Amino acid sequence: MDTQQSNHQPTTLGLSPHAIAEFQKIYLAEFKEPISPESASLLGMKLLRLFKRIYKPISKKEDSNDGTK
């Protein structure tokens, strides 16, 4: 298996090393403060859990009744 591909595999904690590194880059750009891989993994998983709780697909019926055109 090539190492580039294995970088995208999730860890036992949930996020792949690549996703953790990307989260660190985004966090640094937004908050001008670096975070550790462990913190990035924890915050990234919390963010994913939040999206999972609040995300609800919009049905075609709901989309056509939203009042915007």
| pLDDT tens per residue across span 17-67 | 999 999 999 999 999 999 999 999 999 999 999 999 999 888 777 666 666
Question: Are 39 and 15 contacting, i.e. CB atoms less than 8 angstroms apart?
Answer: no
Tell me how far apart the alpha carbons of residues 40 and 19 are, in angstroms, rounded to a whole number: 9
Rounded to whole angstroms, the Cα distance separating 44 from 22 reads: 10
User: What integer pLDDT is reported at residue 7 of this predicted model?
Assistant: 54
Query: Span 2-19, mean pLDDT?
Result: 64
- Interval 36-46: pLDDT, tens: 999 999 999 99
Q: Where are the domains of the chain?
A: 3-64
Residue 11 in tokens: 């860890």
Cβ(18)–Cβ(3) under 8 Å? no
